[in-house]
Chains A and B, each alone.
Chain A
Amino acid sequence: MEILNKLLTYLIVFAVGGAFCLVAQILIIKTKLTPARILVIFLVAGIALEAVGAFRYIKEFAKAGATIPIVGFGAALAKGAIEMARSVGFVGAFAGGLVNTAFGIGVAVVASFVVTLIFSPKSK
């Protein structure tokens, strides 16, 4: 029963995560939006979902399927900003988003720097 539950969770993660990417791919094919625009659209969608309080339920349902796509990154930003605004007041809104996502951004910057020291880009 435990294993069945686990499998079901993974199935949901797969379906929801895949569905987000599917929508993004439709946008790529059907519109002439650049990848950067699409990322921003999904990011802002994540912020909006968190701000209205809907993202919590999606996250409970889909777990990594919701947090790993960039939507989850947007939600984390908004969550941080809202929480900090509530705890420290008005100025907290400016810091909260970055504080909550600092782990991800920090590791991305440092790892990129390290990788740059080791590897060079290849002509295809």
Chain B
Amino acid sequence: MTIHKGDNCGFTQASAPILNGKRSIGVKKQTVFFQNPPKIIAGASVVTDRESKGPIGQYFDITEHDPKMGKKCFESAEITMMDKAVRKAVEKSGKRIGDIDAFMAGDLLNQITTSAYVARGLEIPFIGLYNACSTFTEAIAIGSMMISSGYYENILCSTASHFATAERQYRYPLEYGSQRPPYAQWTVTGAGCSVLSNKGEGPRVVAATIGRVIDFGINDLSNMGAAMAPAAMDSMTRLFKDTDTRPEDYDLILTGDLGKLGSDILRDLMREQGYELGQRYIDCGSLIYDVTQKCYQGGSGAGCSATVFNSYILRKINEGEYNRVALFATGALMSTQSCYQGETMPSISHGIVVER
């Protein structure tokens, strides 16, 4: 893979191994290293009661008590939620909406309507993204490339998901009495937003691994963790190989929404690849809900990694508890129709490395 460098391009592939790795020649790289690493100068998260009662509930910026937020339908509530997260993040960064060059966002709904309607209200350039639940890291990765290349200065990266809207689109009506298998997951109702900038204070995004679409033939719509774990394994292995690092080199390795079962599977898959993830690995989905909350394997959805990263993780990086964090948000790229057409569930995972 060659990347054509424009005159103002600040990034090259593997030319500057920031992570002190050796450069292996002749192997195609999936990891991009930023020569002018952009900084995450602020992050905000909006959640509802269920998330705020979880283990990291105190870290979220705004907690909504009404899942409908006084709106007519849940879709409007999701839009409001993302809008609140975006405005809060901009406010925390000390900037104004007008200072932002681009708004990059995605969500789980058809035609990513939530993001588009939020963008309508912001009146700044909009780049819509969709990689299911891995959209958040996709946004950060692409946003970092845009800033590092020098064309953009400030970028907003945001994703949102809502339990009620996801449930209606991917599963059954809310009041339909169906039993979920114990390996199901619970869609996070929440929105998160990060402000990337080339100036200012904050943790730097030093590298990003753009994932490949991986399909290990899982076709059970409820078992998202098992479908997405191979994608996380693939991207994670690529990052370690490209940077010549090992899990021990990171203070924290996160996945987006594999849930408890998915993260156990990922540990096994990584062991096969020769990497022992150990204590430093945790999944955002299993972090956001408590075992007593009856959320099966944990959280899922585009809002899962975005809310956890922009609250708990970002705070801990800023406080100095973690110096180098790798985040791999994972997404399953199926639709309900494709599954009925006999297709399996392809998955993707994009990784970012954040350093203090």
Contacts and interface: CB of A to CB of B under 8 A. Distances in A.
Contact of A121 (B162, B174, B179, B220): B174
A35 interface: yes
A121 B175 contact: yes
A121 B162 CA distance: 14
A121 B178 contact: no
A123 B68 contact: yes
Contacts of A122: 67, 174-175
Contact of B164 (A28, A32, A35, A123): A123
B309 interface: no
A124 interface: yes
Contact of B67 (A28, A35, A123): A123
B42 to A, nearest CB: 29
A118 to B, nearest CB: 13
Interface in B22-39: none
B178 A123 contact: no
A35 B164 CA distance: 20
Nearest to A25: B179
Contacts of A121: 164, 173-175
Contacts of B178: 35
Nearest to B66: A123
Contacts of A124: 163, 174
Given A123-B189, A124-B163, A32 B220 contact: yes
Interface in A13-63: 28, 32, 35
What range describes how many residues of A lie at the interface? under 10
A53 B68 CA distance: 52
Interface residues of B, number: 14
A122 B48 CA distance: 14
A123 B163 contact: yes
A120 to B, nearest CB: 8
B74 interface: yes
A23 to B, nearest CB: 16
B167 to A, nearest CB: 8
Contacts of B173: 121
A124 B175 CA distance: 9
Interface string A85-124: 0000000000000000000000000000000000001111
B76 to A, nearest CB: 13
A32 B163 CA distance: 24
B70 to A, nearest CB: 13
B174 A123 contact: yes
Max chain B Cβ within 10 angstroms of own Cβ: one of A28, A32, A122, A124? A124
A28 B179 CA distance: 9
A75 to B, nearest CB: 23
Nearest to B294: A124
Contacts of B179: 28
A70 to B, nearest CB: 14
A122 B74 CA distance: 9
A122 B68 CA distance: 9
B286 to A, nearest CB: 19
A32 B221 CA distance: 10
B240 to A, nearest CB: 35
Interface string B137-168: 00000000000000000000000001110000
A32 B175 CA distance: 22
Contacts of A35: 178
Nearest to B173: A121
Given A32-B220, A121-B173, A123-B164, 13 more contacts: A35-B178, A121-B174, A121-B175, A122-B174, A122-B175, A123-B67, A123-B68, A123-B74, A123-B162, A123-B174, A123-B189, A124-B163, A124-B174
Give me the 4 closest cross-chain CB pairs, A-B, nearest first.
A123-B67, A121-B174, A123-B164, A121-B175
9 contacts: A28-B179, A32-B220, A35-B178, A122-B175, A123-B67, A123-B68, A123-B162, A123-B189, A124-B163
